[in-house]
Each structure stands twice: as structure tokens, then as C-alpha cells.
Amino acid sequence: MSSEDQIIKDILNEVENKPKFTEEDKKECRQLLENHYKDVSLDEELLHLDKASVQDFEAVENKEIPFGEQGTVLYGENLTGKTSFIEALEYNLIGLPDSDPKSSEFELTNLISNGKSTAHTNTYWNVNGDKYKIYRTLKWEGNSLTGYPRVTKSPEEGGEEEDRRDSQAKVSDILGILPLEERLSERRWDLYRIMGLFFITSKDWRLFMDWNKASDMLDILFRVNLTNVINASENRMEEQYSVSEEARQASMYVEDRRKELKQERRELDDLENERDRISATLTDKQDQLESVRHTLREETEEGVDTDELQSQKSSLESKEANLQRQLTDKVNELAKVRRLINRYEDTDLKEDMDVVGDEVRNLMSVPEKCPICTNKVESEDRARLLEDHHCPLCRKEVPDKRLRVEKEHQAEESITAIQEKQQERLEDLEGQKEDIQFEIQSLEERIEATNEQIEQLEETLEEGEVADLIDEREELDREVRERKEKLTTIQAEIDTKEDRIEELEEEVEELEMLYEEYEQNNRKRQMLSSFNTIVQRKRDQERRRLKNKLSDVMLELTDYFTDGTFSDVDDVVFQDKGKYTYEVHLEDGTVLDSTDPQGSTSEVVLHALLFHTAILKELSQSDRNLPLRLFVIDSAFGKEQDKYNTRAIANFLSELSNILSDYQVIISMAEIGIDTSPFEENYRFERFD
């Protein structure tokens, strides 16, 4: 099984073991991994630079240099064209970078020799036995420089089309860096960054090391290419599972609207009960009024109709008995509801729940609000702590001993949910109790009113007087009018409540749809975030292995620095996660940070030589390498005041051709009194005058 297949298998095994991942989630993760973890196919052909020629480029008037199996030293006094030749070589391979105010390190000025209008560069390559020539011209067009490449196969056979122009992609394809260009190059100067692995110059020793995609390029070269998967997953989170502001707001307001709707419905029930009670008493009063009017109509000169009054009395007594039965039923129902309420309000249970809740709350570690931005800490942040061991604030891994605390916080949430359900049931029972008490009161009032009617009829039967009946009729008239007016008012309130309830129902329905969208997308985002954590962890693990190898190689390479800053290196330590930055630990305890070399010394050169050599050496020992086997170093002795490291750099460079035995090493060196004899065994000197 290849290393790529093993990486995919390891990640999918972790995905399969995620209990909260649905089958659909696992399928989505599998597709993301298989679609975006694609190994970059690198050409295994071997390139060899046979020779290069430069004409009218900067300080070089006309120069042709053959390159054999040995390393090559471009040697001569300052300002004789050594650096110009190397810049011409680089220009021949990748052309001019786009001009940009933020990329001054790529600015190439005065490229054409004074008095000339055109410069010419040629490189001749052997690609697995086939001969290729890369020609690139440079000339003025108005106030700007322009140039184009032309690739010719078998140039010695003639027939070169002088007017033909090829693309940079064709040149990059010959060099074997086209897959890297397609994956990593967004701007023209990114090609300079890519080529910066093979060209380290005094113009910018950290051209490659400071590139934000340097780690991605090394991942590709060493088959740790998982960043693409992470980027694809993050893009899907933002494009397919983005949480709209409306949905986020809905998650905050939907519960409030539900509670408001529930309260409005309760108030509507109360109003309808009040309406029904008044309607019932109105009916009673209307019956009483009709009875009194009937009695008064009958009571003319003939006196009081005792039979009619007795019949009314019997009807009222029957009505009173029926109301008493209803009252008894309601009293029994009220007792039952009270018993349920007492059970929910049981003191011991409530105290136990409160104690457990307090204990859990005392164990909480994640605050409700972020201490930095004061935003609410969302459930996805807590989930990230539990599932991925990531702090919601800094996103770093959380120690195991701290994880127990947040897990116990989840227990508090479960207890809170139970308490909320109990409280909601208790509120419903209280509402039922109030409704029953209201009905009991209404029944008692009706019974009392009925008894009063019975008593009045009994008095009338006993006395047979009409005056009291007239007073009663007037009183009943008034009460009937008042109840009708009250009913009209209550009905208006009911209509208003019903309108508000209808509005709330529509709003809640809309909010619930948005909330459902929020929940679904938020869950998907949490799922993909967990997936990214798995992939990042695997990437860090594979990077860690590579960093360990590079650390060992770099530590071995420091043995070649017999003098200077790196002569007593104790260890080379890469940072545990993230980019390929490192520290050089000296035996005296000094720590040299690769990202912050001392500017007044040659430390930046030492770091560049050590890092680039280690990368190329490890590539040559792996089962895959780029076809381009070229390592060009320009002006490594630029810090002439740093005599302490001059001999150390010279010793290292003199052995570099042996260290990278399958690379063509090209070094430019000025005549500054360095003993060149150690170079003569491994390098051919090309004199610049």
C-alpha cells in the first residue's frame, strides 16, 4: 500500500469511528478526501543542463559556459558579471515577474546592457537523451521590457523557427515544475518562489522560506498534500453550509416567539372562559327576566298565578341541583390537579436537582460569553472542545485534565433540560388549576343566583305582591344590558388576540424554518470542522515525520560547518505543528530562530544553506524527486565583515557537490582572499574578468 493510500485509509477510519457522523456525513467526508487529496504527478525524467549562453544581459556582454557532471564555480572579481549570469539563467527559465508595488524583491532593473536594445539568453538541456534548447529574448517596447520563450527540440539539427513564441507552461513542462505551477502559482512571481527552492541568492536568501505556500509545496513534494482537502472543506462550509444572518437571528428569537405565542393562547383561553361564563350568567339572567315579565303579564287583576310560579321554582331547583353536580365534579378535578402539582413541587426532588445543578455549574470551565469579543459561546464551540480537543478561543489543543470539566458541563445541560421540562409541565398544571378554579367560582355564582331566584319565588308565593317583581325586572334588565356590553368588549379583545396569534403563528413558522436551516447547516459545519481536525491532525502527523527526518539531516549537515556560528550545534528543532520553521540549538544554550536571523552576520546565509540543502538531500533519497536537479547559490560571501563565518561557509560549499551528488551545483564566488583549493576537487572554475 502506497503512503497516499495509507493516509486516506487512516483518515477514513477515524471518520468511521465518529459516533455523531451520519452515513451521509461519512460519505461526504470520503468524497472530499478522494476528490481533493490528489497526488501531484511529477515527471521522473532526469534533466541535465549542458550549457548556457548570455548576451547583453546586465554586466554580461557575451558569455557561454558549459556545465558538466562536476559542480561549477563562477569566479572573479566583483562587478564582472557573475550575478548577472545567474540572473540571466533564472530569467531564461521563468521570465519576468509581474510588476507589483508589494513585490519589490522581484523587481528586475537595468537588465539590458547599456546601449543595447535586446538581450538574449539560451540554455541547452539533456532530457533523458533528448536535446532541448530554451531561448528567451528580452527587449524594450516603449518604456517597458518584454520577452518571450521559445523551446526547440534537437536544436543541432537546425530548422529553428525564429518568429515562434511559446508559453511559459511549455518551459515549465520541460523543467518538470508545471504541476507545481498549476497548483501553487497564482501570480507570475510565484514562479520565482517555486524556483527559489533551487536558486538562493543574495537578493533574497529567504525568497522560498518566507513564502506562504512553501509548506504546501513541501507537502506536495513529500506526499503530505492534505492542505487541498482542508481548503475544499472550508470552502464547502462557507459556500454550501453558510449560516445566514437571518438564520442566526432566528436561533436567538424563535424560543421567545414560541413563549409569546403560548402566553397569547393562554390569555385567549382565559378570555373565552370569561366570555362563556358571562354568556352562561346572561342566559340565566335572561331566563329570570323572561320569567318575571311573564309573571307580571299574568298578574293583572286576576292576581298571582301560583301554579306558574311553582313551576318556575321547580325548574330553578332542578337547575340548581345540576349546577351542584357540575361543581362537585370540578372540585374533584381541582383536587387531582393539586395533587399532581404537589408531586412536581416535592421539596426533596427539587433540592436534589438544585444541588446537582450547583455542583455541575461549579465545574464549568467554558464561559457563556467570549472574554475577548463578548459574543455568546455557541454549542459548536463547546462541541469542538469535546470532539476535537480544541479550545473555542485559541483553537489550540486542550490538555486531557481540562476536558473532564467541560464534559461535566454537558451533564449540567442535561439536568437543566429535565428541570425545564418539569417547570413547563408545572406551568401547564398551574394553568389548569386556574381554569378549574375560575369554573368553580362561576358555578358557585350561578348556584347562588339560582338560590336567590328560588328564595324570591318562595317569598312571592307567600306574599303575592307585584311591587317586588317590578323592582326585580328593572334590576334584571340592568344586569342583562351590562353583561351584553361586557360580552361585546370581551369579544373585541378575543378578536384582537386571535389576530395577534395568527401573526405569531406565521412568524414562528418562518422562524422555525430558518432555525431548522441554522441547525442543519450548523451541524454540517461542526461535522466538517471535526473532519478538518482529523485531516489537520493527520497532516501534522505526516509533517512531523518529515520534520524529524529533516531535523536529522540538518544536524548531520552541521558537521560540515567546522567553524563559525554552526560549529557547535546541539540540535535542530522544528515547531511541532504548522509550517517548516525551526530553531538551531547551540551547545552553550543559544537558540537561533530560522525566522529571525541576525541581520549583521551571515546567519541568514547559514540558515538558507542548511535548510535548502536538507530539503534537496531528502528529496534525492526519497522515492520521488523533481526532474530539475539544479542548485544555484549566488554571493554566499556577501557579508565580508563576518569573517567568523566565511571559512565555515567555504568549507560547507566545497563539500556541497558531494553532499548533493545527483545535483548540478553552481556557485558564484568573488575573489575575497578565500582559499579555493578545497573546491578544486569537486568543482570546475569558470573565470569572469
pLDDT at residue 474 above 50?
Answer: yes
Taking residue 151's Cβ as centre, other Cβ atoms within 10 Å add up to 18
Strand partners, 172: none
- Scanning the structure block, which residue is given the C-alpha cell 530548422? 159
548 to 223, 544, 553, 618: CA distances (angstroms): 15, 6, 9, 11
User: Looking at the structure, do residues 195 and 52 belong to the same domain, yes or no?
Assistant: yes
How high is the pLDDT of residue 360? 41
CA separation, residue 136 to residues 89, 122, 629, 633 (Å): 10, 7, 21, 22
User: What DSSP line would sit under 354-416, residue for residue?
Assistant: HHHHHHHHHT--S-SB-TTT--B--HHHHHHHHHH-B-TTT-PBPPHHHHHHHHHHHHHHHHH
| Domain of residue 576, residue span | 47-209+561-688
Q: Are 570 and 581 in contact (CB under 8 A)?
A: no
Task: Count Cβ neighbours within 10 Å for each residue of 584-602 and write b for 16 or more, e otherwise.
Answer: bbbeeeeebebeebeeebb
CA dist 587 → 558, 561, 584, 592, 645 (Å): 13, 14, 10, 12, 17
Q: How many residues does the chain have?
A: 689
Number of domains in the chain: 2
Answer yes or no: do 53 and 192 share one domain: yes
- pLDDT confidence band for 386 (50 / 70 / 90): low
The pLDDT of residue 172 is above 70: yes
Inter-residue contact 357 to 414 (CB < 8 Å): no
Task: Encode pLDDT of 519-546 as tens digits.
Answer: 888 889 899 999 999 999 999 999 999 9
Q: How far apart are CA 355 and CA 361, in angstroms?
A: 10
> What single letter denotes the amino acid at residue 91?
Y
| Among the ranges given (34-48, 51-65, 210-224, 295-309), the one the predictor scored with the smallest mean pLDDT | 295-309
Residue found by looking up cell 549537515 in the block: 557
- Mark whether 75 and 200 lie in a shared domain: yes
Flag whether pLDDT at 183 surpasses 70. yes
32-74 residue pLDDT tens: 998 888 666 676 778 999 999 999 999 999 999 999 888 999 9
Residue 463 CB coordination number (10 Å):
11
List of residues 6+ apart from 32 with CB closer than 8 A: 229, 232, 233, 236, 531
Do 450 and 574 share a structural domain? no
**pTM exceeds 0.85, yes or no:** no
- Report which of residues 461 and 559 the model is more confident about: 559
C-alpha cell at 554: 540538518
* CA 26 to chain centroid: 18
pLDDT of residue 361: 45
Residues 579 and 448 in one domain: no
Q: What is the mean pLDDT of the chain?
A: 83
pLDDT at 170 over 50: yes
Residue 554 pLDDT > 80: yes
Among 429, 421, 419, 417, which residue's Cα sits nearest to residue 342?
Answer: 429
Counting residues of the chain whose pLDDT is more than 90, the rounded percentage is: 40
Could you tell me if 73 and 182 lie in one domain?
A: yes
| pLDDT tier, 414 (very low <50, low <70, confident <90, very high otherwise) | low
What is the chain's percent helix, strand, coil content, to nearest 5? 60, 15, 25
Lowest mean pLDDT among 360-369, 405-414, 647-656, 660-669: 405-414
Q: pLDDT digits over 446-463, tens only? A: 898 888 888 877 776 665
Residues 6 or more apart whose Cβ sits within 8 Å of residue 311 = none
**Residue 589 belongs to some domain of the structure:** yes
Evaluate whether residue 19 is within a structural domain. no
311 belongs to a structural domain: no
Q: Answer yes or no: is pLDDT of 248 > 80.
A: no
| Residue 13, in any domain of the structure | no
Predicted confidence band of residue 104 (pLDDT cuts 50, 70, 90)? very low
Query: How confident is the model at residue 159, as a pLDDT?
Result: 59
Cell 530562530 found at: 593
| Between 113 and 109, residue with greater pLDDT | 113
| Helical (H) or strand (E) element with 126 | strand 118-127
CA distances 285 to 288, 290, 317, 473, Å, are 5, 8, 16, 10
383 found inside a domain? yes
Q: Which of 418, 443, 463 is the last residue of a domain?
A: 463
Predicted confidence at residue 369, as pLDDT, reads 66
Same domain for 184 and 75, yes or no, is yes
In the prediction, which pLDDT does 519 show? 81
Using the predicted structure, report yes or no on whether residue 351 has a pLDDT greater than 60.
no
**Range from 24-33, 371-380, 667-676 carrying the lowest mean pLDDT:** 371-380
Range in 20-24, 257-261, 325-329, 513-517 with the lowest mean pLDDT: 513-517
Sheet with 683-688, strands from edge to edge, namely 199-201, 630-634, 664-670, 71-76, 683-688
What integer pLDDT is reported at residue 67 of this predicted model?
96
Is 15 within the bounds of a domain? no
Q: Please write down the long-range contacts of 128-134, taking CB distance under 8 Å and 24 or more positions apart.
A: 128/45, 128/46, 130/154, 131/50, 131/155, 131/156, 132/174, 133/160, 134/92, 134/93, 134/171, 134/174
What gap in Å lies between CA 320 and CA 287, rounded to an integer?
Answer: 14
Claim to verify: residue 440 and residue 569 sit in the same structural domain: no
Asked if residue 103 has pLDDT above 80, the reply is no
Same domain, 441 and 567: no
Structural domain includes residue 518: no
Assess whether 457 and 567 both reside in one domain. no
Give the pLDDT confidence score for residue 356 in this predicted structure: 47
pLDDT higher than 50, residue 602: yes
Which of 463, 493, 508 represents a domain boundary (last residue)? 463
Same-domain pairing of 568 and 674: yes
The distance from CA 201 to its chain's CA centroid, rounded to whole angstroms, is 38
**pLDDT-above-70 percentage for the chain:** 82
Q: pLDDT band at residue 601, thresholds of 50, 70 and 90?
A: confident
Q: Is the pLDDT of residue 624 over 80?
A: no
Q: How confident is the model at residue 389 (pLDDT cuts 50, 70, 90)?
A: low
Residue 112, pLDDT > 60, answer: yes
In the structure grid, which three cell numbers stand for residue 60, read together? 554580461
Out of 463, 493, 514, a domain closes at 463
* CATH number of the domain bearing residue 674: 3.40.50.300
Q: What is the pLDDT of residue 453?
A: 83
Q: Of the ranges 68-82, 121-135, 388-402, which one carries the lowest mean pLDDT score?
A: 388-402
Same domain, 459 and 592: no
For 349-380, letters b (16+ CB in 10 Å) and e give eeeeeeeebeebeeeeebeeeeeeeeeebbeb
Whether 188 is covered by a domain: the verdict is yes
What is the pLDDT, as a whole number, of residue 664? Answer: 96
